[in-house]
Structure 1
Amino acid sequence: MKTTLILLAATTALAPITAWADAPAPAAPDSPSAEAAADQPSAKGAFTTGVAKGRDLLDTAISASTISSSDLAKIGTTSIAEAVGNIPGIRAETGGTDGRTSITIRGLPLDADGSKFLQIEEDGLPVLEFGDLYFAGTPQFLRTDLSLGQVQAIRGGSASTFASNSPGGVVNFLSRTGEDNGGVLQVSSGVNYDLGRIDFDYGGKIDDHWRFNIGGFYHEGEGPRASGYQAFKGGQIKFNVTRTFDGGYIRLYVKVLDDREPYYGLVPVQIGGSNDAPQLSALPGFDPRTNSAWSKNIVNLQSLNQNNLPETINLQHGDHSKVRSFGIEAQFDVAGWTVTDHFRYSDISGEHNETSGAEFVPAAYVGAALGGPGATLSYADGPLSGQAVTNPAGLNGNGLAAVNTYSHADLNSLNYTVNDLRASRVWTAGSGKLTTTAGLYASSQDINVLWTFATTLNDFASGGNSTMLNVTTASGLPVTQQGVLAYELLGNGGLYHRLYDVNFRVLAPYGSANYQWGKLAIGGSLRYDFGKVTGAVYGSDLGGGRVGSGSYDFNGDGLISLPESQTALLPLSQPGSVGYSYGYLSYSVGANYRLAEDLSAFARYSKGARASADRNLFPPTFNPTTGQLASSSLAYSPIKQAEIGTKFRTGGVTVYVTGFWASTTDNNYQVGNDDNGATIVTAIDRTYSAKGVEVESEARKGPFSLRLGATYTKSKIDNDLYNPGENGLTPRHEPNFFFTAMPQFETRLVSIGANVVGVTSSFAEDTDLLKQPGYVLVNPFIEVRPLARVTALLNVYNLFNKLAFVELDSAAVPAGGIVNALTLNGRTITGSIRFSF
């Protein structure tokens, strides 16, 4: 461990988070609902995460939700982002796996990937200090399995004062801790795709003071989209043991994750029509719902590592995530104070591999375009390696080739140490109760990451049969080398080949006071974040005469080919030193009034911020000579928020309605596309505002239930420093309306229902020209409990096989009729059988 963190902190007076339902429907013994019940308190019960003393949600000025483990099973996906996207107010964009997702909340901007304004936690502590690290999003190092008890979420408000870098909210994945004796074993398999998985969880009491829980999963297979190889492989195991005593407990826990998944990134689709009403369809011979750009024929890629020595990248590793973590959690009473401590050290590493077309060219013309008149086109790999492409116009049924970009990141170290030690006390003050808190949070986040890029020539075939292509001039000169055009971004002189070796430290004292008097509760909280950033960065992007491109003889033939003459390298003798500090104050004040037993109203105003991480550590936002950011305002993005809401709960009906407003500044880099679809990197320095309404409700009547979450937002770019022509426009990827619904019929023997997800259209880029179509996905499920302790589950994701678009990478309909798109999976059917013991 790089540092020892011993802290004093206090649990917040945040309101408790409550369950979706007022009262869960009766569940059969040993059913998934019954299994989850032990870990899910009712809506009227006190919730313990992030609170000093539990209180009824109707007595608190905060918006919060939970998803039970049984509901997660019915949602029908193990994707972290898609699970989080079922929480009202939260928008998630993903291709169906856990790498490089984009998550935002309440209309806050999605300038880039990651979860910049939303903190994702596991067992009460962040998975990573920053949710938008390049090529290393938080969901990549988190998984769901049967050891998960529930997911809890706080939206807006006081989230900014009770966790660092979380002004938009906090989503917390909580593990089971062995409160009940017994275990579960589940075997799952794709019905119409190749992926097998086994999950297990077992826990219980050892004696009157000791209990434990152990669980995890393992999966392997090709997955829901064809790649031609075992794209999914790995799993995790989690263990915790708890010792209880009078007034408290102490818990030790460990987690080991070693898993790889493919990153389902951008692939080409056909586009026509107008910007307002684009017509999108799959390419002939390549349907993105069931195919990916990954292939059994494309395995390795050569590059130079962080020491400018050759290395071979295995592209089929996809997103490889490795975590070894150890934690301690404790709670005890001292002189009337309740003290809690959460500590965790995580050894985190891995790699990210991504592929996307940079420029699409008809295969019939690509030879002449790259090699001049008379140039020939041939296969660079696969069963036809070395043979000429005899019918390029009909290649794979679509006749398409692409100048392609492969992106690779060596995640050498994202090691993370964090501690939050809290104390709280409830005082009698007059005829009311005063809850006070005080505390300190500290963390140390390493970012040691190498970026590598290569430019290749690829085709697009179904069934995992895509290949790289070679071009040879009429005189016999190779333009490519095993399909590679350049061992860097073509024509960029080694730009973006970077090495980060930086450490971020955060120290944040915080505290709160909440007074409850009769029907009225008033509270406020403060937090001050001190940040210190040290280390070094390397790359020709730093300027100052640094050279980032050279030559290397990768095939060892003693000659330098055209691609080998364009090889990215690091100017190792010319690092840019990083050394700066920052600090900012966050606060939140709120009031709640219990109008009646079934009804309350609240209001809250908050100010928080999100510190910058790796995205500002190269010019023009960083000065490599001084080690300072170009401006102190780049160190963090402040956010102001206001919310007002009402909560109604009676019998089997629960309705929570919250109106919100937010304003923020964001300094970032946005990878986007111009009107012709060409990739561009744009510096962002903007202020945004968003307002809207979110509704969370549930109704239960006998065996019937309906859960509904809906969010309406109106977002706006208020002021763009670099592109004032975009002032007043709607930010990209911000739909006005999105919702989730789960109707369900449940008896002791069967549960039948569907998870329905809907999103209206949004703009592909900030220029507000090309619209991304909205979609509605229907994901039915059926659970059957034929025997005691046996449950069979069938999930269908995307029942109607909707071609649903998450991202279109073009500012307008391109003249070529091809656009890069990130899509959701097509219809996938998964069957599972679960045994309880």
Structure 2
Amino acid sequence: MKYLLATAAIAPLLMFSSANAEALSADAKPAAEKAVQSAGGKASGEAVFSTGVAKGRDRLDSATSTSALRASEFETYGARSLGEVLRNIPGIRAEYAGGEGNANYSIRGLPLSGTGSKYVQLQEDGLPVLEFGDMLQFTSDMFMRSDLNLSQIETIRGGSASTFASNSPGGVINLISKTGDTEGGAVQGTYGLNYGEKRLDADYGGKISDTLRFHVGGFYRQGEGPRDVGYTAYKGGQIKANLTKTLENGYVRVYAKLMDDRTPSYQFVPIRVTGTNAYPTFSNPANFNVKTDSLLSPYTSNIVTLDANNNIARDDIREGQRSKVASVGLDSQIELNGWTISEKFRISKISGGVRQVRPIAVAPAAALAFVYGGVGGALSFATGPQVGQAIANPTALNGNGLMTSAVKIKSDIDSLDNITNDLRASRVWKVGEGNLTTTVGYYKSSQDYDSYWSFMNTLTDVNGDGQTSLINVRTATGVAATQDGMVAYGVGGALFHRTYDVTNSVDAPYASINYHIGKISVGGSLRYDMGKVDGTLYGAELGGSRVGVISRDMNSDGVISLAETKTAALPLGQPGRVDYDYNYLSYSTGVNYRVAEQLAVFARYSRGGRSSAEKLLFTPAVDYNTGKLVDADSAYDTVKQAELGLKYRISGVTFNVTGFSAKTGERNIQVVSGSDGTTDVLNIVRGYKAKGVELEAAVSKGPFSVTAGATYTDAKITSADQSATLIGNKPRHQADFIYSVTPQVELKNATVGFNVIGTTSSYAQDTNQLKLPGYKLVNAFVQIRPMENVQLMLNVNNVFNTLAMVDSEQAAIPASGVILGRAYAGRTASATLRYSF
């Protein structure tokens, strides 16, 4: 509460400063109206918001914390991934150092103990892209792209998100498409000035008749990308289209999306660290730049493994993250006998996969020669320009003397297909002097998780510029301890060599009621989720008599090498059964008081749930003979949140502040690493609590404008099954303060500005030892309009080439002084030429 009161004190200053503020530019209001129409709302000119609420309404009349970001705003950021866009929205934590896809998202103080977006649902046009945003290896943002099709992005944090969408107790992020209500389009080309990218975007929309309109758009790109990998790592694109029929009492829209895109997966790399855990200094190993390099290269790309039928299969790391989507949908809304009935339906066919190299330990090359080859163990290049050459002096290898024990990962998506349907009916009743809005709805979805995984152990050197190679080890007597750089055609025996063929079904009736009289509105909502999980698993990790390690001649040379005696295989005759049900109740209630036309305050309390989904599979939580849960409570996690907020809006000024408190229970999977460099995977069961304040502000006067967002969070671990010593610690990666600020000047023929993203320090792991230093990234943009319909844009990300640490698998500085971590990319600059018509 004290944080809210302290921040709210800024409001009168903003009110005073806005007394002489000029009105918004003449085209701003029509642009807002067009965004409303695209979302299926009414062009009233008010800030109508429709995501995660019962019915679209002016945000000052809603007891929720929301934001809407128009396409014209986030294109100035120079964002090259969805994570780079979303990092600018208040309250959202986005970690996207791994590239485009498989980024991590959370809201306010909710934990990021695993990967993906566990508590946040990512949507396109009001329906989830995936029912669960944190599926291992495959997260929602893999199958979403920001391009000219986007009209705006709406986000709701906490509040009624828990009752108007399943598996979203933290909030909803909704990407809303253009629908052709504005005649015209654009074509633009983007070129990376200091990195490999060529991209073409185009879109067009307009009226076919007075009652029929359309929009179509997409992009295609290819290039090496912002890191030196030595090959074309980005290749592909998408196309989206929709057709809207306007009726006398509503509209009907059909839409489709076709996507086939390939992006790299940037995993952890060796990083030197000196100083202390509290005050570390991170730097590059010799001949390796953590801001521009990775362990990806043409020389680490070959994959040989056993497939889902235990046949030898070959693949290539250069396939990266392959995202393939074919979807069709329906979005309709009609007024019938006083009721507003909306129907949203989508069916998506999703496939692809992930290929990556992830180091699990880093050490001096001589040490790894001893580990795998014993006394007198010798090293040589298994691939690359020096293939077959002996490494006579391991301590001088590439100038840094380092090697990694790494995992080659091949994860196939046979099906992430999903079908979702959301049917809703609302009506406004006149009750006394006020309006009573009632809503009932039914949500139904089916989400496949049909996937094959194979993890293999290999050795690499540490070399930049896309030159990393695989390394062979021989014993002093000449016995090969590796084969073509492979230590084993598996990891830890048969860890993560598995298949999933599981379907998650969700049925969720929901209802809400809201009474608005005068300046006050009071409401509440309920949702009852009923889930069913059914399917089959294969893998030695399921236990029992299942055997997962065999000998196989993987290179077909007629000889079984040492590495080939450690080949992971599936026990195909011994499936594991999954067959369980669960259900939980979510609720939310709030009150909003419109103090004046420009000012409102609100309070809200909510409880939401999140299915544990595939994170329970291959853990002791399931009896794989019966398929039932050992502990029924493990089927889902809950989030309880309280909010108290203030919203202020006047011509040229917007100011929103929300104080929050959250309690979270979580079951997840977390990768950790010890001081000796070894890596382990923990099945965690923990509780968390957080409190803090969230701020969003925008000021516009004449050609000058500035938008800003900030979140202060005080978070703690409240329970931990693995170790009571973690209780009271701050969750990993949770900074006290995160912020973004974007000032700009918009003139007739040019727009100039910059965008600052910043954070204070956080801990690398829950043990609260090694700190990741705070940072601020400055991104600059210039837009020049030399003639009508022509615009030239220059974007520079990370202008000052700052080393911004995001991740460390080690909880403390190891004796070697080298960790495995990730940092954001260094300075990148791009130029875009757009022609609008």
SS at match of 1:74: helix
Match of 2:356 in 1: 354
TM-superposed CA distance for 1:389, in Å, is 2.3
Q: 1:461 to 1:341 in 2, by over 3 A?
A: same
Match of 2:454 in 1: 452
Match of 1:667 in 2: 667
Cα distance in structure 2, aligned partners of 1:175 and 1:33: 14
In the TM superposition, 1:114-125 aligns within 5 A as 114-125=116-127
Cα distance in structure 2, aligned partners of 1:443 and 1:23: 48
Moved more, 201-210 or 89-98: 89-98
> Aligned-residue CA RMSD in angstroms?
1.9
Q: Does the aligned pair in 1 maintain the 2:163–2:527 contact within 8 Å? A: yes
TM-superposed CA distance for 1:55, in Å, is 2.6
Cα distance in structure 2, aligned partners of 1:36 and 1:461: 48
Match of 2:298 in 1: 296
SS at match of 2:342: strand
Match of 1:322 in 2: 324
Cα distance in structure 1, aligned partners of 2:155 and 2:741: 18
TM-superposed CA distance for 1:188, in Å, is 0.1
Cα distance in structure 1, aligned partners of 2:818 and 2:632: 42
Moved more, 765-774 or 382-391: 382-391
Cα distance in structure 1, aligned partners of 2:522 and 2:22: 28
1:752 aligns with 2:740: no
Cα distance in structure 2, aligned partners of 1:225 and 1:410: 24
Match of 1:17 in 2: none
Q: 1:401 to 1:421 in 2, by over 3 A?
A: same
In the TM superposition, 1:56-135 aligns within 5 A as 56-95=58-97, 97-135=99-137
SS at match of 1:667: strand
Q: 1:495 to 1:51 in 2, by over 3 A?
A: closer
SS at match of 2:564: coil
Q: AA paired with 1:717?
A: I
Match of 2:11 in 1: none
CA-to-partner distance for each residue in 1:649-695, whole Å, 9 max, x for gaps? 12211110100001011012211112333212222111111111000
Cα distance in structure 2, aligned partners of 1:758 and 1:42: 36
Match of 1:656 in 2: 656
SS at match of 2:223: strand
1:506 aligns with 2:514: no
Q: Does the aligned pair in 2 maintain the 1:82–1:96 contact within 8 Å? A: no
Which runs of no fewer than 5 residues in structure 2 stay unpaired?
A: 1-17
Match of 1:47 in 2: 49
Match of 1:201 in 2: 203
Q: AA paired with 1:449?
A: S
TM-superposed CA distance for 1:35, in Å, is 9.6
Match of 1:374 in 2: 376
Out of 255, 258, 261, the position equivalent to 2:257 is 255
1:808 aligns with 2:808: yes
Match of 2:586 in 1: 586
Match of 2:170 in 1: 168
SS at match of 1:622: coil
Q: AA paired with 1:424?
A: S
In the TM superposition, 1:781-820 aligns within 5 A as 781-820=781-820
Cα distance in structure 1, aligned partners of 2:672 and 2:203: 43
In the TM superposition, 1:714-725 aligns within 5 A as 714-725=714-725
Question: Percent identity between the aligned chains?
Answer: 49
TM-superposed CA distance for 1:790, in Å, is 0.3
Cα distance in structure 2, aligned partners of 1:43 and 1:544: 64
Q: Does the aligned pair in 1 maintain the 2:317–2:357 contact within 8 Å? A: no
In the TM superposition, 1:378-417 aligns within 5 A as 378-417=380-419
Q: Does the aligned pair in 1 maintain the 2:693–2:711 contact within 8 Å? A: yes
Q: 1:71 to 1:406 in 2, by over 3 A?
A: same
TM-superposed CA distance for 1:273, in Å, is 0.8
Match of 1:26 in 2: 25
Q: 1:43 to 1:486 in 2, by over 3 A?
A: farther
CA-to-partner distance for each residue in 1:715-752, whole Å, 9 max, x for gaps? 11111122111111111111110001100111121111
In the TM superposition, 1:219-234 aligns within 5 A as 219-234=221-236
TM-superposed CA distance for 1:619, in Å, is 2.9
Cα distance in structure 2, aligned partners of 1:686 and 1:140: 27
TM-superposed CA distance for 1:37, in Å, is 9.8
In the TM superposition, 1:261-300 aligns within 5 A as 261-300=263-302
1:687 aligns with 2:681: no
Match of 1:482 in 2: 484
In the TM superposition, 1:766-785 aligns within 5 A as 766-785=766-785
1:535 aligns with 2:535: yes
SS at match of 1:275: coil
CA-to-partner distance for each residue in 1:255-309, whole Å, 9 max, x for gaps? 0110010011100110111110011101110001111111022221100111111
Q: AA paired with 2:484?
A: Q
Q: Give the alignment's TM-score, normalised by structure 2.
A: 0.95
Cα distance in structure 1, aligned partners of 2:83 and 2:525: 30
TM-superposed CA distance for 1:581, in Å, is 0.3
TM-superposed CA distance for 1:144, in Å, is 0.7
Q: Does the aligned pair in 1 maintain the 2:51–2:155 contact within 8 Å? A: no
TM-superposed CA distance for 1:388, in Å, is 1.7
Cα distance in structure 2, aligned partners of 1:613 and 1:418: 17
Q: 1:445 to 1:54 in 2, by over 3 A?
A: closer
Match of 1:434 in 2: 436
Match of 2:573 in 1: 573
TM-superposed CA distance for 1:44, in Å, is 3.0
SS at match of 2:298: coil
Q: 1:33 to 1:586 in 2, by over 3 A?
A: closer
Q: 1:33 to 1:145 in 2, by over 3 A?
A: farther
Cα distance in structure 2, aligned partners of 1:101 and 1:52: 29
TM-superposed CA distance for 1:333, in Å, is 1.6
Match of 2:4 in 1: none
Match of 2:157 in 1: 155
Q: Does the aligned pair in 1 maintain the 2:362–2:820 contact within 8 Å? A: no
TM-superposed CA distance for 1:23, in Å, is 9.4
TM-superposed CA distance for 1:447, in Å, is 0.2
TM-superposed CA distance for 1:50, in Å, is 4.8
Match of 1:516 in 2: 516
Q: Does the aligned pair in 2 maintain the 1:58–1:647 contact within 8 Å? A: yes
TM-superposed CA distance for 1:77, in Å, is 1.5
Match of 1:647 in 2: 647
TM-superposed CA distance for 1:52, in Å, is 4.8
Cα distance in structure 2, aligned partners of 1:188 and 1:35: 26
Moved more, 573-582 or 402-411: 402-411
TM-superposed CA distance for 1:455, in Å, is 0.8
Cα distance in structure 2, aligned partners of 1:419 and 1:779: 40
Q: Does the aligned pair in 2 maintain the 1:27–1:34 contact within 8 Å? A: no
Q: Does the aligned pair in 1 maintain the 2:52–2:172 contact within 8 Å? A: no
Match of 1:16 in 2: none
Q: Does the aligned pair in 1 maintain the 2:33–2:45 contact within 8 Å? A: no
TM-superposed CA distance for 1:476, in Å, is 2.2
Cα distance in structure 2, aligned partners of 1:470 and 1:115: 38
Which runs of no fewer than 5 residues in structure 1 stay unpaired?
A: 1-20
Q: AA paired with 1:464?
A: G
Cα distance in structure 2, aligned partners of 1:486 and 1:96: 26
Q: 1:96 to 1:66 in 2, by over 3 A?
A: farther
Q: Give the paired residue count.
A: 814
TM-superposed CA distance for 1:33, in Å, is 11
SS at match of 1:206: strand
Match of 2:9 in 1: none
In the TM superposition, 1:716-735 aligns within 5 A as 716-735=716-735
Out of 415, 418, 421, the position equivalent to 1:419 is 421
Match of 2:741 in 1: 741
Out of 131, 141, 153, the position equivalent to 2:143 is 141
Q: 1:277 to 1:43 in 2, by over 3 A?
A: farther
CA-to-partner distance for each residue in 1:408-452, whole Å, 9 max, x for gaps? 211111000000011111111111111110010000000011111
Cα distance in structure 2, aligned partners of 1:616 and 1:45: 41
Moved more, 348-357 or 794-803: 348-357
TM-superposed CA distance for 1:84, in Å, is 1.5
